[in-house]
Amino acid sequence: MKIICVGRNYAAHIEELANEKPTDPVLFLKPDTAILLKKNPFLIPDFSSQVHHEVEVLVKIKKIGKHIDRKFAPGYYDEIGLGIDFTARDLQQQLKEKGLPWEKAKAFDGAAVVGNFIPKKELGDVDNIPFRLEKNGEIVQEATTQLMLWKIDELIEYVSKYFTLKIGDIIFTGTPAGVGAVAPNDVLEGFLENRPMFSIKVK
């Protein structure tokens, strides 16, 4: 399986990082080794002093597809989840300034939290799903998928132009505003429609 991540998919997040609004979805990959193992804490890596949390709605692909038309995209997923794209922001900035790829800042071991998944049919309109991230009991990120620049079915169409989607692949659909640094002993809890999806301890 592979993890396909979408960057800059929420306008407010683009503004908070002073990035340029893209004309097409920004895509990058994480290897399966980036997935944080269940029940494990997130360990802040020694090569960064500024790791940010980025909560994201996840889509799990259920069948193989290539060049998928948007109208057929709903047939390629049955489950929606929630996760975190951890980002070594200081390292990412250094790489961006040099025009280098982001992988060291985005795809390191443990950088992808994959929480629980919920059947799509239980969520109603996938283009208007509320979700949030709480840090130590306080809401730090909160949004709805309605705020996405590119909605889920549009992303599946776009991603499948470049990458064959396979069973078990996960799409991270982008993060809303409110990203921030994590510190040892933080507890990060994610909610999709008020349903608890993950709880992560930071060390």
Domain of residue 44 covers: 3-201
Q: Which residues touch 92 (CB under 8 Å, ≥6 apart)?
A: 102, 105, 106
CB 88 within 8 A of CB 105: yes
> Over the Cα atoms of the chain, what is R_g?
16
Residue-wise pLDDT tens digits, 31-81: 999 999 998 999 999 999 999 999 999 999 999 999 999 999 999 999 999
Query: Letter for the amino acid at 140?
Result: V
C-alpha–C-alpha distance, residues 203 and 10, integer Å: 29
0.75 surpassed by pTM? yes
Report the pLDDT averaged over residues 181-187: 98
Q: Which of 14-18, 95-99, 182-186 is least confident?
A: 14-18
Provide the CATH number for the domain around residue 15. 3.90.850.10
Residue-wise pLDDT tens digits, 101-155: 989 999 999 999 999 999 999 998 999 999 999 999 999 999 999 999 999 999 9
CB 106 within 8 A of CB 85: yes
The total of structural domains in the chain comes to 1
Higher pLDDT, 75 or 12: 75
